[in-house]
Amino acid sequence: MNQSALWKRILRHKLFYLFMLPGIVWFFLFSYVPLYGVQVAFRDFMFSGGFTGSPWAGLKYFRQFFDYYQSYEIIRNTIVISLMKLLIGFSLPIILAVLLNEVRNVKFKKTVQTLSYLPHFVSWIVVVTLMQRLLTPYGGPVNDLLAAMGMQEPIQFLNNTSWFYQIIIGSEIWKSIGWNSIIYMAAIAGIDQQQYEAAKIDGANRFRQIWHVTLPGIRNIAVILFILSAGSLMSAGYEQLLLLNGPATAAIGSVLDVHVITSGISGGRLSYAAAVGLFQSVIAFILILTVNRIARKVSDVSLF
């Protein structure tokens, strides 16, 4: 397409591009302009010198991170937690959307949708506070119920390595499953109803209609979202881990997100924190490129 034809096409669809403009401006201001500050990771940053006036440090802070005695542990914890969130949390919104699509009682369906969406808007501080009240060993409703069922000793759910992963993954799913199912519900709504009618004529029951019509109809959306989710493999979630992780669970709960924030803000090591954050971003970029290439070869669906 030559330049003249391109501009004619843009002018013909100018209203659509106008709707895109706020999003483009937002991404430019908050995603691309800040890239200028990436150089902090390669400098001995000082507020008096600014970005360009601070002395050049090269790969000094990257080496400091990899020489840090807990760096391997932090990377391992980040990958383990992120991978569990991805593998478990990615499929459940699809299952919820498919199940809700099969519900014929409109009031019940809307009630379940609303109740599943609401946790997304609740702050992690509120969620963790609620969990602390519910799961406290003495006087908490959960342990009181277990005691009434005959359990002798109360369970220490929080700050306990035996329950840490269950608490992290369970709270993440509870908070995000409804919100993440919205896009699948929209994709299911866009499936041609004639496909279901044809499946019925061929004798397909409800399960076979789901398997042969519903799931193939949302496959492309699922692949795209999985590619995007793969980029978060080096980010386990800052707020949740900061609030739920403690000294007793630090061996399996210390992650890169919290390490970056505590090093940069609490420790005042801005260059070091920027270097670790840049390391996260580079790995995330490589993961997206890799998963995108695999998806394009396997399913002919990709981001680019």
Model pLDDT for residues 232-270, shown as the tens digit of each residue? 888 888 889 999 988 889 899 999 999 999 998 888 899
pLDDT of residue 14: 85
CB of 83 closer than 8 Å to CB of 234 = no
Bridge partners, residue 56, by sequence: 43
CB of 117 closer than 8 Å to CB of 233 = no
CB of 85 closer than 8 Å to CB of 236 = yes
Look at residue 16 and tell me whether its pLDDT is greater than 90.
Answer: no
pLDDT of residue 42: 93
Look at residue 286 and tell me whether its pLDDT is greater than 90.
Answer: yes
Bridge partners, residue 43, by sequence: 56
Q: What is the mean pLDDT of residues 71-93?
A: 93
Look at residue 38 and tell me whether its pLDDT is greater than 60.
Answer: yes
The mean pLDDT of the chain is 90
Give the residue among 124, 108, 110, 123 at the shortest CA–CA distance from 167. Answer: 124
CB of 235 closer than 8 Å to CB of 280 = yes
Look at residue 1 and tell me whether its pLDDT is greater than 70.
Answer: no
Binning pLDDT at 50, 70 and 90, where does residue 173 land? very high
Give the residue among 195, 206, 194 at the shortest CA–CA distance from 104. Answer: 206
Give the residue among 168, 129, 130 at the shortest CA–CA distance from 253. Answer: 168
Whether the CA torsion 183, 184, 188, 189 is positive or negative: it is negative
Give the residue among 227, 244, 273 at the shortest CA–CA distance from 166. Answer: 244
Give the residue among 126, 201, 206 at the shortest CA–CA distance from 171. Answer: 126
Q: What is the mean pLDDT of residues 104-122?
A: 91
For residue 38 the two structure tokens come to 């990436």
pLDDT in tens, 46-75: 888 888 888 999 999 999 999 999 999 999
| Residue 43 CA from chain centroid, whole number | 31
Q: Is the pTM of this model over 0.75?
A: yes
Look at residue 187 and tell me whether its pLDDT is greater than 80.
Answer: yes
For residue 195 the two structure tokens come to 């496909």
For the chain, the domains span: 67-299
Nearest-angstrom CA–CA distance, 298 and 302: 10
Nearest-angstrom CA–CA distance, 75 and 235: 10
Nearest-angstrom CA–CA distance, 41 and 58: 8
pLDDT of residue 256: 93
Nearest-angstrom CA–CA distance, 151 and 153: 6
| Residue 160 CA from chain centroid, whole number | 24
Look at residue 221 and tell me whether its pLDDT is greater than 70.
Answer: yes
Q: What is the mean pLDDT of residues 100-122?
A: 91
Alpha helices in the chain (DSSP H): 3-12, 14-27, 50-53, 60-67, 71-102, 106-117, 124-135, 141-148, 164-180, 182-189, 193-201, 206-209, 215-230, 238-244, 250-253, 256-261, 270-299
* CATH node for 67-299: 1.10.3720.10
